[in-house]
A and B are shown apart, each in its own frame.
Chain A
Amino acid sequence: MASNTTTSNDTHATEDTHATTEAHGGNGGHSDVFPPFDPASFGSQLLWLALSFAALYILMSKIALPRIGEILEVRRDRIEGDLAEAERLRQKTDQAIEAYETDLANAKQKAHTIAEETREAIRKDLDAKRADVETDLAKKMATAESRIQSTKTEALGHVEEIASDTAHAMVTNLLGRTAQKATKDAVAKVVKG
């Protein structure tokens, strides 16, 4: 077997193939049997398969898979945590928006009320002042009118006197003598008539 251990495993070195085959045949172990069906190699293959697969299984189940599982677990937790946090923040934002809108609506309402009140107050004030001014004006007008009236009455009261004086003067100038009484009666007659 010693010669076989140094034999190249080169698949293309076909010269070696025959050498190996012959050497194997000479040792009686590996004859011309199709290699995959050669029972001589079964023992060794089974042994090493068992050893290597057991090693693989232990490495996988003890180290590699728990580690990957943990990584995935941590990531999933992290993502879920982050999503929950995002959801919480979103709700908070919504609440803030809602509160802001309520405040805004209240403020608008208040502003409206204030404006309305102010407008009302100004209007009342204006109305009152206007009423004052109007009454004042009306009073002044009434006074003026009564004064005009009295002046007029007074003026009218002097009409007869003026007329008789005028007539007397005219008659005096025309006739050269005074007929004061007759003139006065005539004027009074005209004025009354």
Chain B
Amino acid sequence: MADPNKVDPIHQFAITDIFSIGGEGAGFNIAFTNSSLFMVITVLAISSFLILSTSGRGLVPGRLQLLSEMLYEFVANMVRSSAGTEGMKFFPFVFSLFMFVLVANLLGMVPYFFTVTSHIIVTFALAMLVITVVLVYGFMKNGLGFLKLFVPAGVPGYVLPIVIPIEIVSFLSRPISLSVRLFANMLAGHITLKVFAGFIVTLSSFGFVGWLGAILPFSMTVALTALEFLVSALQAYVFAVLTSMYLNDAIHPSH
């Protein structure tokens, strides 16, 4: 049972309690898990980096301040280009989402670290948050005019009975696609990495030939690690871009 060569690629996603507030006796039980810990670490890392690096308020930025400014301008340009100037009121929201997903993804790449975004409930909650903001703001700003979102302009009347259900289904599938895309990417990436890294351990236990054979999965692991870093950043970008585009729908519902 305690086979040292047995690698369990799923174990990295296990949630373990670090401590819990309350308990069975108190009538409530709030567990602080490794997932919670890494959420807190993510938030602390983002906040402390952005706040400390800009504390000098240098007119000529240092390296760290420049990085903060580049992140700011990157997300600001993204929001402005997809949702227009009016969408800039959602800039802090999109920025927080982007940074949270990005840093959570990147922290997950550190060995032994837990990947917050590899849990569907987290990505789904973020996606639902986005859709809720879109819905609430869309109805607040446009009233029932927001429903025009489902009626594409310039479509002849007799096609509408087909188009409207399609639009509604596509709208409803947004939180699912948004959350599953991120979750599946992170989950699959980490499992693949773990499996290939596991091959190295398994093969190297077969002696010298095994060591030679382990070169292949080792190079795969190196390549996959690079790929995963790319995916981490890319998925955060995709998440933020789609959020901006959905927010654009809330601001300008008629296409």
Tell whether A72 is near chain B: CB-to-CB under 8 Å.
yes
Question: Which positions 106-147 of chain B face chain A at CB distance < 8 Å?
Answer: 111-112, 114, 116, 118-122, 125-126, 129
- Chain B nearest CB from A29 CB (Å) reads 9
Check B114–A5 contact: CB distance below 8 A: no
Q: A5-B17, A59-B47 are in contact. Are A35 and B10 (CB under 8 A)?
A: yes
Tell whether A28 is near chain B: CB-to-CB under 8 Å.
no
Q: A41-B33, A42-B121, A63-B51 are in contact. Are A14 and B4 (CB under 8 A)?
A: yes
Give Cα distance in the complex from A36 to B118, angstroms.
7
Which residues of B have CB within 8 Å of A64? 47, 50-51, 54, 68
Give Cα distance in the complex from A53 to B92, angstroms.
12
Q: How many residues on B have C-beta within 8 angstroms of the other chain's C-beta atoms?
A: 65
| Cβ proximity bits B11-31 to A, threshold 8 Å, 1 near / 0 not | 111111111100000000011
Q: A52-B40, A60-B92, A68-B68 are in contact. Are A14 and B54 (CB under 8 A)?
A: no
Tell whether B73 is near chain A: CB-to-CB under 8 Å.
yes
Which residues of A have CB within 8 Å of B187? 36
| Cβ proximity bits A27-70 to B, threshold 8 Å, 1 near / 0 not | 00010001111100110111111101101110111011101111
Check A72–B120 contact: CB distance below 8 A: no
Check A48–B50 contact: CB distance below 8 A: no
Tell whether A9 is near chain B: CB-to-CB under 8 Å.
yes
Tell whether B244 is near chain A: CB-to-CB under 8 Å.
no
Give Cα distance in the complex from A90 to B57, angstroms.
30
Tell whether B39 is near chain A: CB-to-CB under 8 Å.
yes
Tell whether A154 is near chain B: CB-to-CB under 8 Å.
no
Check B65–A45 contact: CB distance below 8 A: no
- Chain B nearest CB from A66 CB (Å) reads 9
Give Cα distance in the complex from A63 to B68, angstroms.
13
Which residues of A have CB within 8 Å of B13? 34-36
Check A5–B69 contact: CB distance below 8 A: no
Q: Which of A15-23, A127-135, A158-166, A171-179 contacts B (4 or more CB under 8 A)?
A: A15-23
- Chain B nearest CB from A71 CB (Å) reads 5
Tell whether A7 is near chain B: CB-to-CB under 8 Å.
yes
Check B36–A56 contact: CB distance below 8 A: no
Query: A-contacting residues of B (Cβ < 8 Å)?
Result: 1-4, 6-8, 10-20, 30-36, 39-40, 42-43, 46-47, 50-51, 54, 57-59, 61, 65, 68-69, 72-73, 91-93, 95-96, 99-100, 111-112, 114, 116, 118-122, 125-126, 129, 183, 187, 194
